[in-house]
Amino acid sequence: MIFRQNIIRFLRWTEKFTRTDMVYIAKGGGWTTVWRVANFSISFAIMTAFANLVSLEIYGRYQYVLSLVGLVAVFSLPGMETALIRSVAKGFESTFPKAFLTRIKWGFLGSLVIVGVAFWTHLQGGDDALVSILLLAAVFLPFRSTAGFTTAFWRGRKNFFAEALFQVTLTGGVATIVITTLFFTDSLFYIVLSFFAAQSVLGIFLYRIAYLHIRPTSEDESLIPYGKSLTLMGTVGIISDHLDKIILFAFLSPIQLATYAFAIDPARKVRGLIPISDLLLPKLSENGVVGDKRKQRVFMKMLSMFIVTIPLAIMLALVTPYIYGFVFPQYIESVPYFQVLTILLALVPFTVLGVSLEAEMQIQSQYITKISIPVLKIGLFIILIPIYGIWGLIATLLVTEVVKDILTTYLFWKMK
């Protein structure tokens, strides 16, 4: 008890320098960091299994299928997750089941699109194996979107222990099933089946558990419309997030796609280890950001984070050749791409400003960033990837990230 009080006293003392509620960060950030580190470890285990149990060709095709399905997943209203966090943080929990069913209902529209693509592929004399996989995806699409929705509920509650527990259960269960499948077969159909089925079943199971903990409150009538608005404004971004791998597959080869995936996916996972959005969105939604003094405090918090992210990015770039040489020797060509992508890690603090816009429902500003930046990214993809291959893709990611950070900073200070 005395030790705990001393820790709290020390954290309060550090607030003079960090200008942040350090007790909240330690309490929430501790559990959030635990599940993010656990997820990273689980993802690392899956990548290790793929690297050693299947060929680059198979892994490249696997990434291509997930990217195709990811494009159509926009119909399942992914923006509803952010809207739910904001709604629950404000005390509205009873809308959770309605939002959950809305995502499933809209997901069936995505299934119809996938069936249409599969039918068209068959008529064009395309790969029958790909047609089978697309039909498989159509079955599971409405339900696999539920996988991450329950954790958004716990994040809005600021119950970071429950969020961590549910997230690790989900990713750990999926990883166990997929890795087990890899030990028995390298068939792309069964690998994709194991991934989709595990996500769907576990997602529904975890939702049922969370459903039992909903507090009776009034409903938030703005949740579903706001979730649809966030999805709409994020649609171009979702397309740009998956189009890189699709274009790379089309213009180069599955092997080149696998090489790129082993650079970009770890880079994104490492960037995701810093739980800025998870911690700040509920807090900023509750306390607000509008006002010169509040904005100055938020901006100073952002600047202080660079003290951590820049040295971390440099250190990671230096040790990468040794890590890949030991764990992924067949993907050693991915090393220089990953090293350059560590710049994205250094720029993570700018996320604070984007979260501030979400917390204050600055819809117009979010439309500007979430449409203009992806459009720029898609344009550069189309121009640079056919000419420069993977390096053209890396250059696009860095340029668009810098432009986005500059634009977000301008919109943050303009916010009223």
Reduced 3-state DSSP string for 157-180: HCCHHHHHHHHHHHHHHHHHHHHH
Place of tokens 């040794």: 322
Check if the beta carbon of residue 378 is closer than 8 Å to that of residue 246: no
- Can you tell me whether residue 269 is helix, strand or coil? helix
Taking the mean position of all CA atoms in its chain, how far away is CA 407? 21
The candidate with the shortest Cα–Cα distance to 275, out of 32, 35, 30, 38, is: 32
Residue 36 half-sphere exposure toward CB, CA atoms < 13 A: 20
Alpha carbon dihedral 8, 36, 105, 132, in 10-degree steps, equals -170
3-state helix, strand, coil in the chain (%, to 5): 85, 0, 15
Q: What are phi and psi of 318, to 5 degrees?
A: -75, -35
Residue with tokens 């299928």: 65
Cβ contact 411:369 at 8 Å = yes
Give Cβ neighbours of residue 89 (< 8 Å, ≥ 6 apart): 156, 157, 158, 281, 282, 285, 286
Closest among 394, 406, 385 to 338, alpha carbons compared: 394
Domain boundaries, the chain: 2-414
Please list the pLDDT of the chain residue by residue as tens digits (416 residues): 554 555 555 445 444 444 555 445 545 455 666 767 777 888 888 988 998 888 888 899 899 888 888 888 888 888 888 888 878 877 777 778 888 888 888 888 888 888 888 888 778 776 777 788 888 888 888 888 776 778 888 877 777 778 778 888 888 899 999 999 999 998 888 999 999 999 889 888 888 888 888 777 767 777 788 888 888 877 887 888 888 888 888 788 888 899 999 998 888 888 777 666 555 655 555 555 555 566 677 777 777 778 888 888 999 899 999 988 888 888 899 999 999 999 988 888 887 777 776 666 566 677 777 788 888 888 898 888 888 889 999 999 999 999 988 888 887 777 66
Q: How many residues does the chain have?
A: 416
Q: Pseudo-torsion of CA 31, 37, 41, 44, nearest 10°? A: 140
Cβ count within 10 A of residue 294: 14
Residue 341 to residues 171, 260, 317, Cα–Cα distance (Å)? 25, 11, 9
